[in-house]
A and B are shown apart, each in its own frame.
Chain A
Amino acid sequence: DTAVSQTPKYLVTQMGNDKSIKCEQNLGHDTMYWYKQDSKKFLKIMFSYNNKELIINETVPNRFSPKSPDKAHLNLHINSLELGDSAVYFCASSRERAVHTEAFFGQGTRLTVV
């Protein structure tokens, strides 16, 4: 009964490949996010969706494309993977998009590009 679940937990792939990370939340939240945590543990917002509508799209290479089939799911597809894409990617959700609302995070997907 995990609140925010993402799969896979670990992903090792070669440069140039295309991969997807899936995220689902069962909290009934309207807003979902993708964050990237680098090797120095710095968490940076990538995308945010509210009721399937994209509301935040930070300066992320267009090789990264989020897709929200419904408000409980937000998947991240990455084309032409590069070494610098190696990081831990976190999906999160919140009840509303007000910035002070608590964010619930998944366990993270550790992506290693070799």
Chain B
Amino acid sequence: TQLLEQSPQFLSIQEGENLTVYCNSSSVFSSLQWYRQEPGEGPVLLVTVVTGGEVKKLKRLTFQFGDARKDSSLHITAAQPGDTGLYLCAGGRTGRRALTFGSGTRLQVQP
């Protein structure tokens, strides 16, 4: 059982479509980060959210932290092939000195 469950696990869509990826837990997190990992590379940070209900936008990407700080979502508008990759959520908890990573969502955007 993983502390942070992501859904869906796999997503294949056409260029121009919208999508949402979810990151859920029964535990409260003090912060939530989203990373994108491309094949053969390490994860790269996209955003950090720390306040319940917080919404951050990064161009076509919108990130939301749940009010209770137990879940988060990533919404991509008008997906492009360059968005293809593995999306990982990672939570920080008080008293823990390292991030807890989610199970990952593999996104493929077809041109």
Contact = CB atoms under 8 A, between A and B. Distances in A.
A108 B104 contact: no
A106 B37 CA distance: 11
B86 A100 contact: no
10 contacts: A4-B42, A35-B101, A45-B98, A90-B42, A100-B31, A102-B45, A102-B48, A103-B45, A108-B40, A108-B41
B37 to A, nearest CB: 8
A22 to B, nearest CB: 15
Given A41-B104, A42-B2, A99 B44 contact: no
A-side interface size class: 20 to 34
Interface in A43-97: 43-45, 48, 55-56, 90, 92, 97
B73 interface: no
B106 interface: yes
B64 to A, nearest CB: 17
Given A99-B92, A99-B96, A107-B42, A43 B50 contact: no
Interface in B35-54: 37, 40-45, 48, 50
Interface of A: 4, 33, 35, 40-45, 48, 55-56, 90, 92, 97, 99-100, 102-108
B38 to A, nearest CB: 10
Interface of B: 2, 30-31, 33, 37, 40-45, 48, 50, 86, 88, 90, 92-93, 96-101, 103-104, 106
Contacts of A105: 42-44
Given A33-B98, A102-B33, 17 more contacts: A40-B104, A41-B106, A42-B101, A42-B103, A43-B101, A44-B101, A45-B100, A48-B98, A55-B97, A56-B97, A56-B98, A90-B42, A92-B42, A99-B31, A103-B99, A106-B42, A108-B40
A41 B99 CA distance: 15
Nearest to B41: A107
Contact of A99 (B43, B45, B99, B104): B99
B97 A100 contact: no
A92 B93 CA distance: 19
